[in-house]
Amino acid sequence: MTSTQSPPATTGVVGTRAPRVEDARLVTGAGTFVDDVTRPGMAHACFVRSPMPRARIGEIDVSAALELDGVLAVYTAADLNPGVHEITYALDIVGFPPVPRPPLAEEEVRFVGDPVALVIAADRYIAEDAAELVIVDYEPLEPVVDYTTAAQSPDLVHAGFAGNSAGEMGGRPAADLAPIFDAAAHVVRQEIYQQAYAPVPMETRGIVAEWSAPTAEMTIWISTQSPHEVRGFCARLLGIDAHQVRVIARDTGGGFGLKVAPLREEMCVQLAARTLGCAVKWIEDRQENLMSAGMSRHEHASVGMAFDADGTILAASIDHVQNVGAYPTPSPITGGVVVGILFPGPYRITEASFSSKFVYSNTVGRLAYRGPWQFESVTRELLLDHAARQIGIDPIELRRRNMLRRDEFPFANPNGMVYDSVSPLETLEQAVQMLDYDAFRARQRAARAEGRYLGVGTCTYVEPTTGASAFLSTEGATIRIEPSGKVDVFVTGGSAGNSIETTVVQLAADAIGALMSDVRTVQGDTAVAPFGGGTQGSRSGSMTAGAIAAAAVSLRERITAIAAHRLGASVDEIEIAASRASVRGGDKSLSFAEIADIAYFQTDSLPPGTPLGLESSGRHKTTQMAIWANATHLCTCEVDIDTGAVTLLRYIVSEDVGPMINPAVVEGQIYGGTVQGIGGALFEHLAYDEAGNPVATTFLDYLMPTASEAPTIEIGHIDTPSPGPGGFKGVGEGGAIGSAPAVLNAVADALAPFGVEISKLPLSPSAIVDLVEQARAAGRGAE
């Protein structure tokens, strides 16, 4: 994986490829994950899960399980659920439809894997043995498996939700655009279905909850992206004050949206810990993760665009329907409606309509996954390539005629989203140049003459990062120079694979003029970290930069004042660098350790009015609805029409995330997200059979891309600063948004001689062979 552009030279460490500070402990196995946490007298949890997609729960016999030596308790919904005070999330929005979410299944089970009972035992082995002894009397009911027909089903996943509707939202009605479509020179329509797939982090979900009855306090060790969200959720769940809850998140082995909000199993463990009065640990196994943690991406849409004779887009419409499973978290409308809002993308579209509907089914619940609105780019970019073939124009040229340039911003899309500080056309042109597009087309023509099928596909998108919802609108940081002169930086985030530790150290070192080696960060502990939203919504870099900058201002002033006073200089003559304060142009200086000695121990020597010590806190508030990032992904491939195998030849990303805090970190985020998107295009499928049984609950059936399938990823950078702190933008999710459409378009381009148009994902080998065979049966063959 390579980059085509080196970062600009800087005077500090921000902007440099500083090695990650996390790596030493992680690559040597010294990280601390939830399963590494052991507490005195700790018990272990195992769930009894439903084997049926929908059934009425009858008698539950736990007697045999309770008789097993080492079993401490067995809870059913009747035992555990009454302990709930409130189940709400910080991301909940007033006015959205309620979402049923009992900790343990009540009255009915609603998907295979639904937790019915909770066994607590001395160790996990005993708990699993006991779980097998719990006898549940199920009365099978007709499941609602196919979300596309759920609205017409007489059966309801949840009573009281007519038509199995979890809610809907829309913008301008499609009927308003009918005159434009009727008069257009070209109208292109498609219906596109995307399969369900899952975040699948390396570390599954895990929690240790420990209740202290004498102090009425809960301490939680958890694999999470948002420690303060867990703290607030637990306080509301148990009906206690937030300061009675301490959440500790050490290392987190990936989250990808799965670990933003506590799910039902984490609720159960917290409730059980309070009831038992001891520490309770639950570590999700891989089968549970694939069966019960949650799904994403399962949706379809009817999309259309109208063009004039020259290929200019006149109007665009999307009617979007999303499967939210049985227990979505949080409200599915929160992220799903953005699919419709963002559908116009980075194009000069002034007329658009959208509708989004969210449908319950007896499958695992919907949750966030890296780039949760990715489907808007899948549908739009596939439709554009389909339109190019129908109109008879090269797909890159069609995009050039319609794509927004940097000098056209700010630009309000027809659904009210105001884009600014992006450069979509510039990223497209850079990616095309990196490929040498014309040379590839010549190579493609030569290959087709030999009976080989090469294709090229692209996707350009704009992405909202650093969103300004109430819970996520501010972030705090505390910087403390210790008496030793070393620097501690306290922030809410934690190590989740996003290199936030390295980012914080770089930002803080530059902000206060310290050596990077003198700085460390303390994260993920709500007892010491300032309140913050954590890692979600591609917000960490920008928000943390703002918080650290705010905290550094008064600290630098204090350092400057102490140094000037001791060195007999004016504050204007003091410069701070490399953990020293020096008189400009002279040889007099003080180290941070010497300044700290004055601040903490020689307080009578401080300048008048200077606060004691060297500690400062700051808080940043984002001033815009979102900070916009953008990129173009471009992929070439070869398709074997006999086996359906897809070989990715070149993969190029031109990314605009503004100035980079650490180019190596930025590129690592792009690499990871891109491979996840490739997995969704070609491999991953969280499939169910017609009876509602999951059929991909191990890695033998749920296929993920490995290093063997991942291509070399070439990255080009374009720098359009944002209006946020440092000009930085979010980069965590973009790779997962742009890669799937680019790969799908590349395959469709390779199969263009057969007249194949893609409508269903993933493009497995068998699916590709079927498409080719159907084309041949219809009389469409290679040119």
Chain segment 430-449, per-residue pLDDT in tens: 999 999 999 999 999 999 99
Would you identify the CATH topology of the domain 335-348+373-468+624-777?
Aldehyde Oxidoreductase; domain 4 (3.30.365)
Are the C-beta atoms of 338 and 122 separated by less than 8 Å?
Answer: no
pLDDT at 782 over 90: no
pTM of the model: 0.96
Query: Is CATH 3.10.20.30 correct for 474-621?
Result: no
CA-to-CA distance for 191 and 319, rounded, in angstroms? Answer: 9
pLDDT at 35 over 90: yes
Q: What is the signed CA dihedral for 228, 232, 233, 234, rounded to 10 degrees? A: 100
pLDDT at 584 over 70: yes
Helices 424-435 and 437-449, interaxial angle, to 10°?
A: 50
CA-to-CA distance for 573 and 563, rounded, in angstroms? Answer: 10
Q: What is the pLDDT of residue 8?
A: 36
Q: How many residues are listed for the chain in this entry?
A: 783
Classify residue 293 by its DSSP letter. Answer: I
The CA radius of gyration of the chain, in Å to the nearest whole number, is 28
Are the C-beta atoms of 13 and 510 separated by less than 8 Å?
Answer: yes
CATH number for the domain whose boundaries are 34-141+204-252+259-293: 3.90.1170.50
pLDDT at 85 over 60: yes
List the end-to-end C-alpha distance of the chain, in Å, as a whole number. Answer: 35
pLDDT digit string (tens) for 711-725? 999 999 999 999 999
Residue type at 543 in one-letter notation: M
Place of tokens 């930069």: 545
pLDDT digit string (tens) for 612-631? 999 999 999 998 899 999 99
Q: What is the pLDDT of residue 11?
A: 54
CB proximity list for 356: less than 8 A, separation 6 or greater: 168, 169, 170, 320, 321, 322, 333, 336, 337, 339, 340
Average pLDDT over residues 448-469: 95
Quick one: tokens of 665? 């970190």
Average pLDDT over residues 483-490: 98
Q: What is the pLDDT of residue 724?
A: 95
Q: Tell me the pLDDT of the chain averaged across its residues.
A: 96
Q: What is the pLDDT of residue 469?
A: 83
Helices 734-750 and 375-391, interaxial angle, to 10°?
A: 30
What is the three-class DSSP state of 638? strand
Place of tokens 């017609």: 690
CA-to-CA distance for 66 and 130, rounded, in angstroms? Answer: 8
Helix (H) or strand (E) run with residue 486 in it: none
Burial class (CB in 10 A: 0-12, 13-18, 19+), 585: exposed
Q: What is the signed CA dihedral for 753, 759, 761, 762, rounded to 10 degrees? A: -10
pLDDT at 709 over 90: yes
* Percent above pLDDT 70 for the chain: 98
Helix ranges, 224-332 (H):
227-238, 264-276, 286-288
Q: What is the pLDDT of residue 23?
A: 93
Q: What is the pLDDT of residue 3?
A: 45
CA-to-CA distance for 715 and 717, rounded, in angstroms? Answer: 7
Degrees, nearest 5: CA angle 725-730-736: 175
Residue type at 757 in one-letter notation: E
Q: What is the pLDDT of residue 543?
A: 95
pLDDT band at 699 (very low <50, low <70, confident <90, very high): very high
Burial class (CB in 10 A: 0-12, 13-18, 19+), 29: exposed
Helix (H) or strand (E) run with residue 178 in it: helix 178-183
pLDDT at 392 over 70: yes
Burial class (CB in 10 A: 0-12, 13-18, 19+), 598: buried
Strands (E), 135-185: 135-140, 165-170
Average pLDDT over residues 115-125: 98
CA-to-CA distance for 653 and 1, rounded, in angstroms? Answer: 11
Which residue spans of the chain are classified as CATH 3.30.365.10? 335-348+373-468+624-777, 474-621
Handedness of CA 81, 161, 261, 265 (dihedral sign): positive
